[in-house]
Amino acid sequence: MTHILIVDDDEAIRQTLKVYFQQHGFKVSSAGTAEEGAALAFASNIDAIVSDIRLPGKDGLWLLREIKQRRPQCPVIMITAFHDLEMTVVAMQAGATDYVPKPIDLDELDAAVKRAVPRKSDADGAALVLGPQVASCSKIVGQSFAMKEVFKSIALVAQSRVTVMILGESGTGKELVARAVHDASDERQSPYIAVNCAALVESLLESELFGHERGAFTGAVSAHKGKIEQAGEGTLFLDEIAELSPAMQGKLLRILEEREYSPVGSTQIMKSKARFVAATNAKLEDRVASGGFREDLYYRLNVAVIHLPPLRERRNDIPLLVEFLLKKANRDLQKSIRRVSSEAMTCLQAYSWPGNVRQLENVLLKAVVMEQGDTLTTEHLLPEINCHSRGVVEPPQGTSREAFVSLRILERDYIVRVLNTTRWHKGKACQILGISRPRLERKIREFDLTAADDREKD
Ligand SMILES: Nc1ncnc2c1ncn2[C@@H]1O[C@H](COP(=O)(O)OP(=O)(O)OP(=O)(O)O)[C@@H](O)[C@H]1O
Ligand SMILES: [Mg+2]
């Protein structure tokens, strides 16, 4: 029987988890403090630990480090109070197997435990135990399953010097993630240099990246240190990589493979120790197929890929993002919007956001500028968001000025919410929605829903 240890200072949570896991065939021990938890873990044969990060006295991270030092093979799943990257990175870098945010979703925790326990034996040799390390990360907001996967990927790739490829539609946060990878890495004190490959013509980009000798071309009055050299042992972020010319693609390949390059107009061979992070919103496979992008470079870049899901596939992140972006807008514009009307939130959650988080940010900024009161209402949302063809209709005359959302949109959004919450477990979703499986399938087709994160559903 798998034996798990629950460490939480909240008696109610301890009891709930105990009962839940006992009913699911686990042997369960529990502790209210980190010290008590450590004592239990070392005294008995525990297969996995589920621990709150925040505990009175010594915290969950202390427990995690104790366990990783003395029982590195024992998976530890952290319960974190914040959905933010920083907590995840700290826990993951300290060797946590997984983490589950509060409020705890029992199914999610159950899935995490089941993932962790069978992996116990093969993780033995590979368990990477890094020292305590608090990363100062850029703030990336998200609590959807898809974003949690992104946070984990950031924490993982940050630990090595591997080349990272960030894919995602425009405005999904690629640049933010590139920065977060750097900030979470050991080289965060070294420079982070970003270059937009689409912004410069080929010859300028070349000297920008590689540097040039004095007199290398007309106008090169003095020698210029390239971005690669400037990055040193830090990170070089190559944005819009798909726009590189064929010649530049060849040169980049050489750097990635041999770490060598020559400044423009020079025969000198320079070595680069930088970590390369690339991003694009283009479909690189298509570019490769049409001959616009070198296949060998594509494979060289495609080692560690972080895929950023479009906002419409993680609508449950919208309220959190709205809160975060509104606070930011309040600060920037010295306003004090404190609330969002439920109609406005419904519209924001219903919209398809082709421009993703950047568009959401802009829409909120505009609304904040216009809003006189302390509540963001639909009045100042752009018409396409307020009454887009997605079925938002004006209320009958004489009723409130707020727009209503059609039942169809509500239905669609509710189904999306349930599917996301159950991680696309259609059986569970049917139970919650009270509809049959074929009916759910029909709705999924009708609303053209897709799961960004459907890898572990039934
Ligand atoms: N998860 C997130 N949490 C908070 N802010 C975010 C998030 N994702 C994106 N943003 C914000 O949205 C804006 C766009 O993000 P970013 O520039 O990183 O997108 P991008 O994917 O690089 O877009 P593009 O392809 O157009 O260059 C930024 O202001 C960024 O701070
Ligand atoms: Mg960008």
Alpha carbon of 243 to ligand 2 centroid (Å): 13
pLDDT at 137: 37
pLDDT at 121: 36
Listed in sequence order, the residues at least 6 apart from 356 whose beta carbon sits closer than 8 Å to its beta carbon are 168, 169, 170, 171, 172, 173, 310, 311
pLDDT at 127: 22
Q: Is 171 in the pocket of ligand 1 (CB under 6 A)?
A: yes
| Ion ligand 2: residues, CB < 5 A | 174-175
Atom of ligand 1 at shortest distance to CA of 173? 18
Alpha carbon of 241 to ligand 2 centroid (Å): 11
Atom of ligand 1 at shortest distance to CA of 239? 27
Alpha carbon of 183 to ligand 2 centroid (Å): 17
pLDDT at 396: 47
What are 308's strand-pairing partners? 168
Spatial separation of the C-alpha atoms in residues 92 and 156, rounded to whole Å: 8
Alpha carbon of 344 to ligand 1 centroid (Å): 22
Q: Is 142 in the pocket of ligand 1 (CB under 6 A)?
A: yes
Contact 187, 233 (CB under 8 A): yes
Alpha carbon of 40 to ligand 1 centroid (Å): 44
pLDDT at 120: 38
pLDDT in tens, the chain (458 residues): 889 999 999 888 888 888 888 888 889 999 999 999 999 888 888 899 999 988 889 989 899 999 998 888 899 999 887 555 676 677 777 888 888 887 788 888 888 888 888 643 333 322 222 122 223 334 788 888 888 889 888 888 988 899 999 999 999 999 999 999 998 888 989 999 999 998 888 888 998 999 988 776 766 667 788 999 999 999 999 999 999 999 999 999 999 999 999 998 888 999 999 999 999 999 999 999 999 999 999 999 998 999 999 999 998 899 889 988 998 888 888 888 888 888 888 889 888 899 999 999 999 998 888 888 888 888 888 777 875 334 444 444 444 434 455 666 778 888 988 998 888 999 999 988 888 888 898 888 877 788 764 433 44
Both tokens of 153, joined, read 């990927």
Output the residue whose Cα is nearest ligand 1's atom 5: 140
pLDDT at 454: 41
Contact 93, 111 (CB under 8 A): no
pLDDT at 138: 47
User: DSSP H helical segments within 98-240, as ranges?
Assistant: 106-123, 145-158, 174-184, 202-210, 227-231
Q: Is 361 in the pocket of ligand 1 (CB under 6 A)?
A: yes
Q: Is 328 in the pocket of ligand 1 (CB under 6 A)?
A: no
Spatial separation of the C-alpha atoms in residues 364 and 346, rounded to whole Å: 14
pLDDT at 398: 46
pLDDT at 406: 60
pLDDT at 184: 86
Both tokens of 180, joined, read 């977060």
By C-alpha distance, which of 402, 392, 325, 323 is closest to 352? 392
Output the residue whose Cα is nearest ligand 1's atom 29: 358
Spatial separation of the C-alpha atoms in residues 321 and 327, rounded to whole Å: 10
* Domains of the chain with CATH codes: 3-134 (3.40.50.2300), 150-309 (3.40.50.300), 312-405 (1.10.8.60), 409-456 (1.10.10)
